[in-house]
Amino acid sequence: MMYTAAALAILITMGLALARALLGPTVYDRILSVNMFGTKTVLLIAVFAFLSGQTDILDIALVYALINFIGVVAVLKLIEQGNFFTSGEKDEREVESE
């Protein structure tokens, strides 16, 4: 019962984060919301593990916490540079020399 209540609260938060991600207005707002959505997903998985009584599911939450972080940083890098393959510093030097 208490797990259901917590899961519902987390779902509402995720809904609010999703609404912000859809509304924008800047791309950074969207990434922020997606990051928050991801953190809440980790919590939801953790609560679900207890709700279903299979605590092995916690491993998934653990992995999701890591992937969420890497995903957010990767998307940020993509937006800042336009691709995944160059380092930011090199780009600046190229810009200066032009």
Partner 1 sequence: MVLDILSWIFLVAGGLLGIIGGIGIHRFPDFFTRLHAAGTTDTLCAALILIGLGLQSGLTLASFKLVLIFAFILFTSPTASHALANAALHGGLEPLLDDAEEEAGS
Which residues are near partner 1 by CB under 8 A? Answer: 2-3, 5-6, 8-10, 12-13, 15-17, 19-20, 26, 28-29, 31-33, 35-36, 39-40, 42-43, 46-47, 49-50, 55, 58-59, 61-62, 65-66, 68-69, 72-73, 76, 79-80
Taking the least distance from each CB to partner 1, the nearer of 28 and 94 is 28
Tokens linked to 81: 């540079």
Residue whose pair of structure tokens reads 């797990």 in the numeric block: 3
Query: Rounded distance, CA 45 to CA 62, Å?
Result: 9
Rounded to a whole number of angstroms, the minimum distance from the CB of residue 39 to partner 1 is 5
25 cis-preceded (ω within 30 degrees of 0)? yes
CB 45 within 8 A of CB 86: no
Nearer to partner 1, 67 or 97 (CB): 67
Q: With respect to partner 1, which residue has the nearer C-beta, 54 or 98?
A: 54
DSSP state for residue 91 in the 8-state scheme: H
Residue 62 or 93: which CB sits closer to partner 1? 62
Closest CA to 33 of 12, 8, 16, 9: 16
